[in-house]
Chains A and B, each alone.
Chain A
């Protein structure tokens, strides 16, 4: 296992794209979060805004870059034929997949932590100037606040789970375009259908089972009783999707010719 881990680490580390994509994840997450915080206005107070959630808006975009990174880690090997070498070196294929997942998760956890804390910092600096701060009765964004800490840690875990979901999908589908299309379709299609469906209860059910809407419930720090699903249960739903994708990918990896 250690050998596999080291091999996977070397493969990811030595790709120029990995570094760029990790940088892009952090930069885009922080940029979009800061832009969202700068765009929101509530001069009179009393808006139903959640400061932590606004400050973490960039996750919506950051997750797409994470998905690209995870998909490329697998599809790149199939595209170049590297996968045969990998599997020849590690005949126990699930070990190879697990090593890939572990290395990828580690990278995303580090990058995600930086991105999430920079986003929250930007929000804490920008939002009070736009009428959304402690002086208007909103909870302050501080690391000592339980719900904010949950939103921050949860968002980092969310990104890691998106990476695992994408890894599983890419292992199952092998083709990069199809895998990224499937993952981003799964993430973005459900919330739009939930908005455009006239059936309120169906819309709520969709938000409970969809990986993105359920998983991002973890970002809520206010109005928890109006959420379609509770924060940790929501992250659990995403974890189930990621586990399902990994199991499917693992089964296909074992049973198929590479």
Chain B
């Protein structure tokens, strides 16, 4: 009987309909429906599933509502990204093609005293250490050099060649692009010559250690660059992050320029000092300049010209509200999915279940699929609602929201659903293995939530190698290696890439399901 049926199906070849029929005869669809019915008909579970979604949205809302940290809106750069654009600029007008050459003889820095208590960048700068003595220390991304831009508006296009605190000579343009030049620090014994030339839309940066032999660092093409541009010397110094714990503080850099010479059509003879101010936290009254002779300047500046990252502009990362909501929903999902597995044992239903479908591994798989799908649906819907609500609330509270693309939003919504779905499957596996609700729920929470308690503040290895790594799927803020910042989970940065983090949770779930399948086959029910 059996061989003929299988032979018939094989004869029909690849026809999907028959393959599905074969599945169905094996009872997969019916098993799926049976398990779904078991879940659906327990009213308390359906209520708890809705409660999970409601808790998610509610906690996200409250978390966003309580974040009253109004910050000025950040400018948008040429590429549509948020940028910092605050620096001291001493410039001249250049009509048409030309070049500017300068020697940087020294670069030094200082920062406001480190505050032992934690706080955000704004809290520190608004306290205003005006007049209090600065502590010496050059920020790694302090910048001094030559910049060319169409105007001094916030977020304008630019190309610049510069010496930095500890990243050597760099050519940077339009905030996100950079190419390295001569390495090593600048100083009296190792001065750096810099040159920026313009030919049409193309800006080329050069550096030199002696002013005679020049090396091209890179070129930038600034689209639709007007004929008349501003070219000059700039100095800026970003937030200073202390080596140990503690809050970052604003910093100032001072550069000594000499042998400054310009070529091309520069209509006005004199230099214009221009402290280009933006939202960026600065050392008060740090923007100064002094012309020592025709071609020698001492310029101090505070701020940054760079892509905007978390923690610089606001303590509140918009996605933090979503993390809080997810944790609340996660607790409900773990309890529910565990009960879905353990209650069969407590009520003796497992005997009937296994008598009806003797393939125990399949029963467990179906249970995991049912719990996982329901948690996915509840999680994805709740995330979508919470995203809309929190972004409105944060905007109304005056928080800055980073520009976010559709794909990133879709990843957060789908990914959070998958996180909760995988967590539910993991809880089903734990419940099946341990059979006792209390122990299984505790194991689930210890695996999924406790690492976050211990590791989320610093973003240490616990956020990479435990199931909690999956929260990385919610990271949306841009990261830049041109900016020093606290790239930690509270600021929106996880120590693992989004999908890799979710894969870690998936791996734990797969292992737990495999172990549970093995145990279920071995044991008496």
Report which A residues bind B (CB closer than 8 A): 17, 46-48, 57, 60-61, 64-65, 67-68, 71-72, 75, 79, 175-181, 184-185, 188-189, 191-193, 195-200, 202, 212, 226
Contact = CB atoms under 8 A, between A and B. Distances in A.
Interface string B358-383: 00000000000000000000000000
A61 B331 CA distance: 17
Q: Which 9 A-B pairs have the closest CB atoms?
A: A198-B316, A181-B335, A177-B437, A198-B67, A196-B320, A176-B438, A176-B437, A185-B331, A184-B445
Contacts of B399: 198
B63 A193 contact: yes
Contact of A195 (B66, B342, B490): B490
A75 B442 CA distance: 14
Contact of B456 (A71, A196, A226): A196
Interface residues of B, number: 51
Contacts of B338: 177
Secondary structure dominating the interface of B? helix
A181 B342 CA distance: 14
A165 B399 CA distance: 38
A199 B67 contact: yes
Interface in B414-462: 436-442, 445-446, 449-450, 452-454, 456-457
Contacts of B196: none
A148 B393 CA distance: 45
Contacts, number: 127
Given A195-B456, A196-B323, A197-B320, 9 more contacts: A176-B436, A177-B440, A180-B441, A181-B331, A185-B328, A189-B449, A196-B490, A198-B399, A200-B118
Contact of A177 (B323, B342, B456): B342
B450 A61 contact: yes
| Interface SS majority for chain A | helix
Interface string B326-355: 011001101100110010001000000000
B173 interface: no
Contact of B244 (A47, A79, A199): A47
B137 to A, nearest CB: 16
Contacts of A175: 437
A119 B439 CA distance: 24
A198 B441 contact: no
A112 B338 CA distance: 28
B457 A64 contact: no
B432 to A, nearest CB: 14
B412 to A, nearest CB: 15
